[in-house]
Structures are given as structure tokens and as C-alpha cells.
Chain A
Amino acid sequence: MDRVPLERKVLSENDRIAAELRVRFQEHGIFCLNLISSPGSGKTSLLERTLEALPRHDRVAVLTGDIQTENDANRLKRFHFRVKQITTGGTCHLDARMIERHLADWKLEDLDLLLIENVGNLVCPASYDLGEAAKVVVLSVTEGDDKPLKYPSIFFKSDLLVLNKIDLLPYVPFDIDAAADNARKVHPGMEIVKVSCLTRSGLHEWMMWLGQRRRAHKPLAQDTASG
């Protein structure tokens, strides 16, 4: 019996494509976010509020993933930015190849910001790198405040936690401080914003975070573009 060392990632093919995408995004100065949450936490609503707040001339594109239907793309197209639906036909997450394929019709030089809405699922999307600069996890107050402890991987891997639907706090037993503590237990120092996509409360903090991260991402892109 011989034991052959393999020493490579199981998802090396996905990771290879994701690494290529990351290089292409950097070359074109594109800041890419991967939004992840359970179904119904408000990823699409957060994108609606985001697109609504961005200037019309901003060079933004959205890829939105679902198992079936074009509903989310139709909701997001109202804002006149580039939007494309990815229907996975049953797959519970997006992978890097889907991103690569759905970007093919767009010229990357026309884009500065790419927002990817993953399939509603707190587990599987955590394993698939899409070439993003950062993952953002959305948790709504109608869920459990212990969710970060139950699904630690995605909270651990995300740069920002968006606590959504805070307008419902008076009506639900969700302890928002406990949720923040639990998220920071799993991911010490995790950044958190509290928003309501319905009343628009807290969205300024989210847009500030997005703006800061875009600006921080920019110098490298400009260096690459001029080189």
C-alpha cells in the first residue's frame, strides 16, 4: 500500500476560477460584494435601497441568484442599472463558474461595483469563493438572535453583518445586543450595521460602509489600470 500526498483544496477548480475573477475585478477596478443570508432576510430589499441611493451614472451591476424565477431581477431592474438573474435550477448556492458565465455579456471596463446576491442559504454559500472582495451576511430580527452561533461559518467569513428589519424589534423577542455579541463571539471585531429596508432607518451607515470599502479598494485598481 502506498500513500500519495494530495495536499490541495477539494474545491480547487472553483477556487481557480474565483482567483481569476478576483484578478480581473482588480484589473478593472471593480469592487465586488457577495451578499448572503437565509431566504427572506432582505437581501433583495437591501439591494433595492442600495440601488435607489446610488447616483444614476454610477457604474453598477447586480447578479442575483435564485433556484427559480426571474422575480428578483425584475424587482432590481427598475433602478436602471445592469441586472442579471442567475437561476441555479436547484443548486443551493452560487459558484464561481456561474459568475464567470453570467458576466460574459458585460464589459468589465464599464463597471466599478458588482453586487452578487447569493441563493438564500446560510450554509453552502460559505464554501464557494466567487472572487468577491468581501462577503456580507444579512440577518433579520424575525430570525433567532443565536443564528451566528448556529451557522458560524458564514458569520466568521463575512466582513459585515447587516441586521435588517429593525422596525419590527418592538414586536419580536429578538435581542439585538445578544445577536451582535454572538456574531462577535464567532468573528471578533465584526462590523455590524442595523437597518430597516422598510423605514430606511440605518441605511446611511450601510451606504457609508459600502462607500468606504469602495474607496479603500480603488487605489490598487487605479495603479493596475495605469500600469
Chain B
Amino acid sequence: MHELGIANSVLEAVKTEMGRHPGTYPCKVGVRIGEMAAIDPESLRFCFEVIIQDTDLESLELGIEVCPRRHRCRVCGNDFIVRDYDSRCPQCASLETTCISGDELELAYLEVEEYGPSTVGAKSSQ
């Protein structure tokens, strides 16, 4: 239910970042979402599409990378993906494991394109 707020934060971050790249326009913004982050990727995508509709960022694409929950074993040092909530180390069967990732809600990258002769008219028509 809070994906609209998250989508707005992503869009705000894009606008702020674009101030550092004059002469370009944004094509794609990439986010990383951990599976424990309580964010539904499809809902986020829907909200993002709604808020860019009929704006000059309408063509901006949202790239979502879903990150699994990873644990590290404190006994043997093995890093592994936790499936079905089973946080036991698959290598040595220890239960002494620590979560190292899986609750990401991060901006990863922004892809920008320079305005060319064919895009100038389309993008600056306001």
C-alpha cells in the first residue's frame, strides 16, 4: 500500500540526479528490492507508471532487481540464499547464521541519454 510513496521517492531521486547531467534525459532508473523489504514489485511498477503518465518523464523505464535473502554461516563462513525461511547453513547444517542482505530498498543506477537532433524537439516541446 505504500508503493506509491516509494515510487514518488524514486522519481524525486531521478529529478535530483538529473540536475547533475545537463544536456541529457533519463531513460531508465534501476532499483534493488530485497524480498524482505515489504515492497511488492508489481505494485511499485504500477504506481511508477501512473505518476509519470502525461509528464515529460513518461518514457522513463523502471528496472527492478529483486534480491533474495542471504545469510552467512558464523561457523564455516558459507554465504547462501535462504529458501522457504530455512536459515540453516546448507554446507555445515549450523543454525548460527546471520542475515547479510535481503531487505534492500535502494536506487542502483540511472541511465541517461544525450539529447540528439531527433530528440530535442520531442523532449523540449513544452
For chain A, the count of residues having a C-beta within 8 Å of the partner chain is 32
How many angstroms from the CA of A158 to the CA of B97 in the assembled complex? 17
Contact call A156/B103, Cβ cutoff below 8 A = yes
Task: Answer whether A10 and B107 are a contact pair too, CB < 8 Å, given A127-B2, A154-B38.
Answer: yes
When the two chains form the complex, which single residue of A7, A12, A153, A154 contacts B108, counting CB atoms closer than 8 Å?
A7
B25 to chain A, nearest CB (A): 11
Contact B87 A5 (CB under 8 A): no
A5 to B111, CA, bound (A): 9
Asked if B92 lies at the interface with its beta carbon under 8 angstroms from chain A, I say no
Shortest Cβ distance from A92 into chain B, in angstroms?
A: 5
A177 within 8 A of B: no
**Residue B93 interfacial (CB < 8 Å):** no
Cβ–Cβ < 8 Å partners of A7 in chain B? 106-108
Q: Which residues of A contact B108 (CB under 8 A)?
A: 5-7
Minimum CB–CB distance from B84 to chain A (whole Å) comes to 8
Q: Tell whether A123 is near chain B: CB-to-CB under 8 Å.
A: yes
Bound: A91/B6 CA distance, A: 13
Known: A127-B37, A186-B85. A6 touches B2 (CB 8 A): no
Complex Cα–Cα for A11 and B110 (A): 17
Partner of B38, one of A5, A8, A124: A124
Bound CA–CA A2/B113 (angstroms): 6
Interface string of B39-56 (1 = CB under 8 A from A): 100000000000000000
> Are B85 and A185 closer than 8 Å at their CB atoms?
yes
Chain A residues in 8 Å Cβ range of B13? 6, 8, 10, 12
Q: How far is the CB of A77 from chain B (nearest CB, A)?
A: 29
CB distance from A156 to the nearest CB of B (A): 5
Contact of A1 among B10, B37, B111 (CB under 8 A): B111
Among residues of A, the one whose C-beta sits closest to the C-beta of B40 is A123
**What is the CA–CA distance of A42 and B44 in the complex, to the nearest angstrom?**
30
**B24: CB under 8 A from chain A?**
yes
Q: Is B78 an interface residue (CB 8 A)?
A: no
Say if the beta carbon of A121 comes within 8 Å of chain B.
Answer: yes
Quick check: B103 and A4 within 8 Å, CB to CB?
no
Flag whether B75 is at the interface (Cβ < 8 A): no
Chain A residues with a Cβ under 8 A of chain B: 1-13, 91-93, 121, 123-124, 126-128, 149, 151-154, 156-157, 185-186, 188
